[in-house]
Structure 1
Amino acid sequence: MTLSLFRTVRGRLLALMVAIVLPIACLTAAAAVATYRTVFEAIQTAQTRTADDFAVRTRVWYRGALRSLVASATAIRAMPPPTDTCDRIAERTIAAVSGYEALLLRVSGRPDCLGGLDGSIAHSELSEIASQLAARPPIKLWGGTEFAKARYDQVTIGGRSYLAIYTPFDEGDALLLTKPDPLDDVFDLGSGDAGMMAALVRRGGEVVVARGGAQADASWLPKAETVPAQTAHWTAPSRAGPGRIYGARMVVEPDLYVVVSFDGTAEQAAKTQFYILLLAPLLTLTLLGLVYMKAIDQHCVRWLRGIEATARARSASTSARVALSDEMPRDIRSVAEAFNAMVDEQEVRQSKLRLALDDNRFLVRELHHRVKNSLQVVQSYIGLTKRDHQGEARMALSDAECRVHVLSAAYRFTLADGEMQPVRIDLFLDDVVAMISSLILARTQRLESRIETEAALPIDRIIPLGFLIVDVVTRALRAAPGISIDLAVTKVGENLIDIAITTDRDAPRIAPPRLFAGLLMQIEAVEISPPQGQSLGVWQLGHGIQGETTQPSPSAGVIATPTLSPRKAPVGPT
């Protein structure tokens, strides 16, 4: 993980924590899943072994009953007649074993030997049952260890259910009837799962013996019968509806098998354990993450935000300092102290700079004041000198006096309040027009102005604007006696004005001086209409545009010789 991708301290620390915690969480989840699978497989194995256990018990009981039947039949067959002696021996044999009810021995050439404890069981019924079992296929050998052919089944006589063990031999066959009670003891569930049920079931779903539920209640058996080939384990809906877990084991092929059912308590406990093993570490890691985030905010981000807030507050309050605390970490405290020291040094530098700027403003103000006074002196001197000359010399002195007046008026307006301020265009141009009217305008000529803006320009733009007006107007006045000139300044946009100079007749064309283009560049004006007909030109300029301020720089008013600049290429009048 590249921590540089995160832009904040909190993000990088959290990313580092995730990089540490995520592998631990994955290992924890993998361990929980492995544990769950192991436990679940152990539960399934235990359930299958439970079915195997009941099947083995049933087989052992049936084998014991078969052994008793074979031994009794062999002993009775070895005894000579008469028949009544055989019957008494068979009866005593039956009575000796709890649960045995009747014994029938049929030997060819000899009368049938019958012994029973229940007189309601007739000889004919036993013979019929023996004949039916003889017609059915014998059980398959259990691993090749069975010592006699046999057939196990369930029969009903007089409304009562009995277990039948039948075995044939060379001279005849033998049949043993027992009550289900001895086999019922085989299915003792002990102290196992309270939701476990077990039963010996015949093919077709008839219950022979059951434990964990009433004999007549078979609702817990699977809705769809599944006869195992050997063993089976599955989950299916019961006859009552809810799903249950089943394990089955074949006891006597092809008819008798053991079914064990579980209510899923063990599986649910395993799932609960899995969730605990999975969620407990994850919740612990989540809690650790929350505590980690809180610690980051409390011991790191909080102090950094304080430093940031102080830095932002410096724009509104120069006395803002980072509040130091003993709870600060040492490295962050060092940063805060360094920040405060930097602020102190900056304030000292700013104080010195303010003093220097104040001195500079005072000197500049004094310089401009002296320039204004000097210009007035020069203007007065030119006016006095002009009295001694006539003709072209007088006109040249008048032009010079106009230009000096432009400079003097600009400084007068900009220093009107004692500080350098932008000059309103309307006031300045009205003064310039009045000055031209008094110095150059002949009696037969007329000069009027219509200024519809109160915009202001800094002194370094207002002076070349005055020069431009003086140049265009004086050239037209000299070229055409009796001409009338109109100066119009109109607002055409939020920060745009148009300056148009027109005459009442077509004025002769006089080439502008080479400095005219430089004046346009200093004004930052664009010629939108060249001189033609009665128009001496239309220029458009912006005020309040980017780069201007309401307070000019200390060096404002120092007029350089106009030079061409690659920024704009205005076109002067032709």
Structure 2
Amino acid sequence: MPDLKLGEQAARPLEAIDSVRTRLSTVLALSMLPVLAFGIASAVSQYYDRSEAVEQQLLGKAELVSKELQSLFLGAKQVLEIARTQPGVKNNVEPACSRFLQSTIAGLPHMGNIATISPAGDVQCSALPADQPVNVFGDQWFRSVNARKDFIVGGPILGELSGEVIIVAAEPLSPEGNMEEGVISLSIRTDYIGETLDIGDGDQELELFLINLEGRSLLPGQQRRKLPPKKVLTTYLTGDRGILSTTGDDGKDRLYASIRLDESDVYVVLARPALSASLPVLTELLADVAALLVLFAVTLLIVWLATERMSIRWVKHLRAVAIAQRRGMSTVRARDLEKAPIEYRELGEAFNSMADAIERRQASLVESISERERLLREIHHRVKNNLQIVISLFNLNARNTEDEHERAQLRDMQVRVESLALAHHAAYQSGDMQLMPMDEFLPSLMEHARVMLEDEDCLSLRPIQTDALRLPMDQAVPLAQIILEVISFLRKTADVPTELDISLRRDRPGWAVLSLTTETEPQEDCEPAPVKSKEEEDRRLRLSRSLVSAFARQLGGHLQAATDLSEVVLDLPLDEDDVI
């Protein structure tokens, strides 16, 4: 008993879209979508948290720089407060004032100059000598200290005495803020500030800017084009601290963090390229999302493979078994069922039990069919033998009669009965006894038909031409009777030498054509069959045409026949199995 191997595939594969594996994977994917969506939402939330952390980190660095600057300015304020308490400085007594101021900034490289200024803006006492009178009444920082009557930081300006870009720290000479006593100012060198400020970790992408409320840069060498447009910047510099992500004047996106120095109009601004700031955070977001998607895909893959292992392969195996049994391979059985899940094991055992029952039933049917074929052969054989007895009686009567017309009639009947005997003999010898091979039956029929014509000079038969067709007996017998009827009629009516050409050909799918055509030679003479009268000839013609038409209708064909039956064409419908 052959078994179908477990891995053998059916002739027609399972449709992937309708498979259990696809549907189960789809259900699992849909059930996992909320978890995946929650994970992605969490990753996005973490992305925003990390982005905010990056912003806060940049803002923290700006705050550290601002505290360093505030320490620098606080030191400047302390220097100013110490200096203004000195009597020589307060009263502008020379040369004591200049000497003290010079000693004050000695050893402090970031301080460019220290001076006292009158209420009118004239420089009165200075650590640096002046070649000519200097007046600062029009400077913004001077107006600011007059307005606030307290410590201010202003600038940057180009120092008239030092010739350097400086930031000015100033406060009233009077501790009570009495501006009638004048102002004391300290110049802080901006190049020193740019060199000494620590913006942390040697970050080459991090840039420091000191700007005022008007967006003016306070440090030398700063590239103002890396800052946002002035309108955007001045709108942004409205609070003590802030974060801004925008495009600089150079067209590059940056992240800006600003810290205001106490209540001054000076801001510390740190800038970092937006890509540099967001790339690590974005990379972490993509990594988180990718991890979720990989986990999702791995889970589906595991389910896909597990379904294949535990379910689909057994479905395919049992399906292949069913297809094989449907094709008649009743000995095929499902195998290795002890390895299958219990549901498939029970189904496979049911298949095997059903196949055993079918095989037993098939054996019984084969035996019944064999018995039926044996009986049919016996019937065909006995019918043929009985017809042979009838043929012998016709032959005996034909020999004992003196009437030529009666003898001809008996021979016609003998040939017709012989055609039936030939049909039963062909069915008896046929393998399935259902279809008769016409390329064997019709030539045999023509040999017996020539018995009709053994004494005839006017009609002769050419060799029949036929394709390899197999017709059932209920088509073969009427077809033979049409041929014999035409031969019988022509034999009795031909008065010149006539040749009958008979062919049976496959014409088109589902159809065959039986063609009977005659060719005559009028210039030659022959001895026609005796005819009793014109009325008998007409009656014979009507009878023959009627018989041919009746047989054609029995065959379900389309008949085209000449009036004198000199040409007969019959379209015969076929079954697809009629052609070998």
Q: TM-score range by the shorter chain?
A: 0.7 to 0.9
Higher relative contact order (Cα pairs below 8 Å, separated by 6+ residues): 2
What secondary structure does 1:333 align onto? helix
Match for residue 518 of structure 2 among 497, 502, 505: 502
Q: Offset of 1:112 from its aligned partner?
A: 7.1
Work out the CA distance in 2 between the residues paired with 1:535 and 1:97: 141
Match for residue 287 of structure 1 among 298, 302, 313: 298
Structure 1 segment 217-236 matched on structure 2, within 5 A: 223=226, 226=229, 228-229=233-234, 230=237, 233-234=244-245
The answer to whether the aligner puts 1:381 opposite 2:393 as a matched pair is yes
The answer to whether the aligner puts 1:23 opposite 2:29 as a matched pair is no
Could you say which residue in structure 2 is the equivalent of 1:568? none
Work out the CA distance in 2 between the residues paired with 1:224 and 1:153: 18
Please, what TM-score do these two structures have when normalized by structure 1? 0.75
The 1:441/1:160 distance shift into structure 2, 3 A limit, reads same
Match for residue 185 of structure 2 among 145, 164, 175: 175
Deviation string 1:244-289 (CA, Å, 9 cap, x unpaired) is 6443456599984423133665533212221221111111111112
Match for residue 461 of structure 2 among 428, 448, 462: 448
Match for residue 404 of structure 1 among 417, 434, 437: 417
The 1:372/1:158 distance shift into structure 2, 3 A limit, reads same
Instruction: Identify which range, 342-351 or 317-326, moves more after superposition.
Output: 317-326
The answer to whether the aligner puts 1:274 opposite 2:285 as a matched pair is yes
The 1:370/1:154 distance shift into structure 2, 3 A limit, reads same
Match for residue 308 of structure 2 among 292, 297, 300: 297
The answer to whether the aligner puts 1:38 opposite 2:49 as a matched pair is yes
Contact 2:168 2:187 in 1 (8 A): yes
Q: Offset of 1:356 from its aligned partner?
A: 0.7
The answer to whether the aligner puts 1:153 opposite 2:163 as a matched pair is no
What secondary structure does 1:438 align onto? coil
The 1:40/1:359 distance shift into structure 2, 3 A limit, reads same
* Aligned-residue RMSD, C-alpha: 4.5
Among all aligned residue pairs of Structure 1 and Structure 2, give the percentage whose two residues are the same amino acid.
Answer: 21
The 1:46/1:457 distance shift into structure 2, 3 A limit, reads closer
2:518 maps to amino acid: T
The 1:191/1:423 distance shift into structure 2, 3 A limit, reads closer
Structure 1 segment 191-230 matched on structure 2, within 5 A: 196-201=206-211, 205=217, 207=219, 223=226, 226=229, 228-229=233-234, 230=237
Match for residue 467 of structure 1 among 473, 481, 490: 481
Structure 1 segment 526-565 matched on structure 2, within 5 A: 526-527=558-559, 529-532=560-563, 535-541=566-572, 545-548=575-578
Q: Offset of 1:188 from its aligned partner?
A: 4.0
Could you say which residue in structure 1 is the equivalent of 2:4? none
Name the structure where helix makes up a greater proportion of residues: 2
Contact 2:456 2:491 in 1 (8 A): no
Q: How many residues align?
A: 526
1:135 maps to amino acid: G
The answer to whether the aligner puts 1:122 opposite 2:129 as a matched pair is yes
Q: Which runs of 5+ in 1 are unaligned?
A: 209-215, 551-574
The answer to whether the aligner puts 1:358 opposite 2:363 as a matched pair is no
The 1:82/1:378 distance shift into structure 2, 3 A limit, reads closer
Q: Which runs of 5+ in 2 are unaligned?
A: 1-14, 173-178, 523-527, 529-536
Instruction: Identify which range, 186-195 or 380-389, moves more after superposition.
Output: 186-195
Q: Offset of 1:195 from its aligned partner?
A: 5.3
The 1:124/1:73 distance shift into structure 2, 3 A limit, reads farther
Could you say which residue in structure 1 is the equivalent of 2:257? 247
Work out the CA distance in 2 between the residues paired with 1:160 and 1:80: 28
Contact 2:89 2:116 in 1 (8 A): no
Work out the CA distance in 1 between the residues paired with 2:303 and 2:142: 71
Contact 1:468 1:519 in 2 (8 A): yes
Q: Offset of 1:308 from its aligned partner?
A: 2.8
Work out the CA distance in 2 between the residues paired with 1:12 and 1:339: 25
Please, what TM-score do these two structures have when normalized by structure 2? 0.74
Deviation string 1:153-204 (CA, Å, 9 cap, x unpaired) is 3545557665432456234333223466996799444669685443435766
